[in-house]
Structure 1
Amino acid sequence: MRTRTTTERATGNRPARRVAGVLVAAALCLVAAPSVASATPTNPSDAQLGAAQQQKDAAAQQVGALSAQLATAQAEVDAARARSAIALDTFQGKQAEQEAAQVAADAATAAARRAEAELTTARANVADFARQSYVQGSTNPTLEALTTADGPAQMLERAALLEAASAHQGDVVVQVTAAEQQARAADAAAQTALAEAATLAQEAADALAVAEQLEASARAQAGALASQQAAVQAQLQQAQETLLGLQGARTAAEQYAAQQAAAARAAATRATAPTSSTSAGTHQLVSNAGAGDSSAVETAISAARRHLGTIYSWGGGSLSGPSMGWGVDAGIVGFDCSGLTRYAYAQAGVSIPRNSSAQYKALPKVSRSDLQRGDLVFWATNTSNPSTIHHVAIYLGDGQILEAPQSGSVIRVTSMRWSGFIGGARPTA
């Protein structure tokens, strides 16, 4: 019975286990009724065993070849997803720059409007001065006012008043000139700011288009990989069932022969054969828990945990919670990786940048040996180049992370992955 059990554990194939089980059960029944010769299991010939061995070798070679192909395909899918995440990161950075440029453009436009209003007021003052001069019959009423004075005292008084009036008229002309210059400068600044904002908006749109294309490609590759995996699994299962059926037949025959020999010895010696049993021990790896961080860390982790099971949304996540995704995930409300980490720490009053590469750049760095609960952990396609960072998660300690992994999945707690790990950062430092 040990041989059949070992085979079943190695394959994990239920149909094959049922076939082998039926054959062995039949053999056991024959031990109780040795006179029924027709039920004796047939032991395969050497030729049959050779053919079975060839089939087994062929199946093993096929599995090896298919496993290599699947590994290559999975690597291509992972690389495509990383490129998509980097492109999305670039878009989010450009979007932030464009929003800042738009604020500056709006301020410049408001300044230009104020300057234009001041210019309009100054021009109205000049027009009023011209209108008064026309009514008086001269643009210089000084001589007329002095010659019509009743005496020296009135003449001196009028002279002082006329001097003040002339100074005011001169100020009006100066104000018009200054207002015209300010209006032109403000309008130029507004046009420059608007042009810069428009350029950044276009750059952001271009980055989004690239990111959408890469994400769509990654998803198409992932779908093709899933189909290929299903086909390979079906082929492998069929090969295993065939091989195990042949092996089961031989196992049943060998066990039947051994049981018949044991029964014959028992009848001859009137003694029972000793039996033995084995037990397997268990080994459990124990991980040491790291020290806890500040209350801000626990607040952030609690905020992230509240959204376990929330769907991943490409570009989703705001300071207040899940939000609509971009491009291929338009209409899907959830978080992407950096959207989740920024949201979580915002609930603890800690402000960090929106995208993963900016978070890594802005925050204090932590090496692998110094990681503690609440640190952010980052992955990159090139661990010597931070610009290739494509994913971020929250380190929970005990070899666990909390993350929004990728499209089609949900926010989860999972084991820490060290392949592609570029470093950690501590938002509360």
Structure 2
Amino acid sequence: MAPGTASAAPVNPSDGEIAQAQTAQDAAAAEVGAISAQLASAQSGVATAQQESAIALDSYQQKQEEYETARAAADTAAAAATQATADLGVAQVQLSDFARTSYMEGSTFSGAASLLDASSPGELIERAALLEAAGADHSDVLDEVTVLQQQATAADAAAQTALADADALQAEAADSLAAAQAAETSARAQAAALAQQQVTLDAQLQAAQQVLLGLEGAREAAEAYAQQQAADAAAEAAAQTQAQQQAAAAAAAANRPSTPAASAPSSSRPTTAAPAPAPAPSRPVTPAPAPVAGPANASASTTAINAAMRYLGTPYSWGGGGSRGPGYGISPDTGVYGFDCSGLTQYAYAQAGISIPRNSQSQYNALPKVSRANLQPGDLVFWGTNGSASRIYHVAIYIGNNKVVQAPQSGDVVKVSSIWNYDYAGAARPSA
């Protein structure tokens, strides 16, 4: 811009406006930091709730198995009691028929008429003894059947009591499972809400940062403009002074008579274009902080691994699957057809002809243990709360090279993963 050329001066924000924008940005950054900490805590709560749900599911499945066993025992006992009652009825009918026949023939014993044609006193005595024994046999059979019927009835009553106890335990486990599921659902909802809130606060922080950067840029532009204006004014004043001096010198020379003087060469000062205001330096937007046992049977192990690997990509289904294959789970996976972690391991070893329990805690308790240093393909690897072997919540099949095939969690699929150290509780060998 040439000296003296006018231009619109950029607006210079006040110190108060900049301070207000800085305060708004700091407040937004503090909110983002706080929500990030809350979200990290909520996500940790979700992980804990998932572990508790897995443990509750294990307990429920174990109680369900105990209930089914008690149910089968009760059915057997009830059938035995029913049969004993029927046998008692038959024996009673037979004894009644014997008594009726004896009475109608005038004797206490059936066939007493045969005594009348005895050929000698000895034969009479012998026939009487035989009839007496026959009567006693009927009475002994009745007594024996009565005892058996009483024993069967007692066994039936005991089985029914055991069934009632198992039913109560199953109901208690179901209540615990429902509570754990509700807690997990609540934790997930809280984490989701906080995550959405974080998105909103991140946007607010970025907006506040842009406002502050805009005001700071305007301040810098205004200051640069003022400096340029001052420089232009100084240059114009200097030019005017020089012009005046040159004019005075020329006038003085003109007033000196007959003394020719070489005219001073006119000097022209090139017009210097005023530099454009320096662009406000762009400041990068600060991102929101990130949320803080004997040798294995190689054939059986290979069969189990291959069986599990065939289902890679199959959805995880909480409570789903078992020795017969995938199946529908329970809430929140009632409509999902697949496997949970222990359902997959039970199925895999069932294909190798090895029967293991359905839930992960029972699998760990029932199988021969193996150290981590001695892991072999086919071994089952377990995780428990804080690494506790009494709080198992997850199981996977070791396939070698520090990797496992597993059904991880709801929303995921059967896949191969690296072993992680967090909560590692131990390993066991179904093929030992």
Q: TM-score, normalised by structure 1?
A: 0.71
Q: In structure 1, what residue type is equivalent to 2:311?
A: H
> What's the counterpart of residue 215 of structure 1?
181
> What's the counterpart of residue 367 of structure 2?
363
Give the 3 Å change call, closer, same or farther, for CA 106–173 of structure 1 in structure 2.
same
> What's the counterpart of residue 88 of structure 1?
57
Kept in 2: contact 1:52–1:246 (CA 8 A)? yes
User: In 2, distance between residues paired with 1:44 and 1:345?
Assistant: 74
Match among 378, 392, 396 for residue 395 of structure 2: 392
Larger mean CA deviation between 193-202 and 329-338 belongs to: 329-338
Identical-residue share of aligned pairs (%): 45
Larger Rg: 2
Give the 3 Å change call, closer, same or farther, for CA 237–370 of structure 1 in structure 2.
farther
> What's the counterpart of residue 159 of structure 2?
193
Q: In structure 1, what residue type is equivalent to 2:96?
A: A
Larger mean CA deviation between 109-118 and 177-186 belongs to: 109-118
> What's the counterpart of residue 190 of structure 2?
224
Give the 3 Å change call, closer, same or farther, for CA 137–216 of structure 1 in structure 2.
same
5+ residue gaps in structure 1? 1-37, 258-291
Give the 3 Å change call, closer, same or farther, for CA 349–71 of structure 1 in structure 2.
same
Give the 3 Å change call, closer, same or farther, for CA 329–201 of structure 1 in structure 2.
farther
> What's the counterpart of residue 409 of structure 2?
406
Give the 3 Å change call, closer, same or farther, for CA 325–173 of structure 1 in structure 2.
same
Is 1:134 the counterpart of 2:100 in the alignment?
A: no
Q: In structure 2, what residue type is equivalent to 1:75?
A: S
Matched ranges for 1:91-106 at <5 A? 91-106=60-75
Is 1:294 the counterpart of 2:294 in the alignment?
A: no
> What's the counterpart of residue 377 of structure 1?
381
Q: In structure 2, what residue type is equivalent to 1:218?
A: E
Kept in 1: contact 2:32–2:205 (CA 8 A)? no
> What's the counterpart of residue 181 of structure 1?
147
Give the 3 Å change call, closer, same or farther, for CA 303–242 of structure 1 in structure 2.
farther
Matched ranges for 1:136-285 at <5 A? 136-139=105-108, 146=115, 149=118, 151-152=119-120, 155-240=121-206, 243=209
Task: Give the root-mean-square deviation of aligned CA atoms.
Answer: 3.4
> What's the counterpart of residue 308 of structure 2?
304
Q: In structure 2, what residue type is equivalent to 1:156?
A: G
Q: In structure 2, what residue type is equivalent to 1:92?
A: Q
Is 1:124 the counterpart of 2:93 in the alignment?
A: yes
Larger mean CA deviation between 304-313 and 202-211 belongs to: 304-313
Q: In structure 2, what residue type is equivalent to 1:178?
A: E
Question: 1:398 offset after TM fit, Å?
Answer: 3.3
User: In 2, distance between residues paired with 1:398 and 1:210?
Assistant: 38
Q: TM-score, normalised by structure 2?
A: 0.70
User: In 1, distance between residues paired with 2:18 and 2:400?
Assistant: 53
Aligned residues: 349
Q: Which has the higher helix share?
A: 1
Give the 3 Å change call, closer, same or farther, for CA 218–134 of structure 1 in structure 2.
same
Give the 3 Å change call, closer, same or farther, for CA 178–306 of structure 1 in structure 2.
same
User: In 2, distance between residues paired with 1:114 and 1:82?
Assistant: 48
SS of aligned partner of 1:382: helix
Kept in 2: contact 1:317–1:336 (CA 8 A)? yes
Give the 3 Å change call, closer, same or farther, for CA 300–119 of structure 1 in structure 2.
same
Match among 332, 343, 348 for residue 344 of structure 1: 348
| CA distances 1:208-256 after superposition (whole Å, capped 9, x unpaired) | 12202211220232122123213213422553476479779999x99xx
Give the 3 Å change call, closer, same or farther, for CA 238–375 of structure 1 in structure 2.
farther
User: In 1, distance between residues paired with 2:364 and 2:104?
Assistant: 74
5+ residue gaps in structure 2? 1-6, 225-295
Larger mean CA deviation between 338-347 and 406-415 belongs to: 406-415
| CA distances 1:331-358 after superposition (whole Å, capped 9, x unpaired) | 4332221111111111122221111111
Q: In structure 1, what residue type is equivalent to 2:301?
A: V
Kept in 2: contact 1:212–1:328 (CA 8 A)? no
Is 1:425 the counterpart of 2:391 in the alignment?
A: no
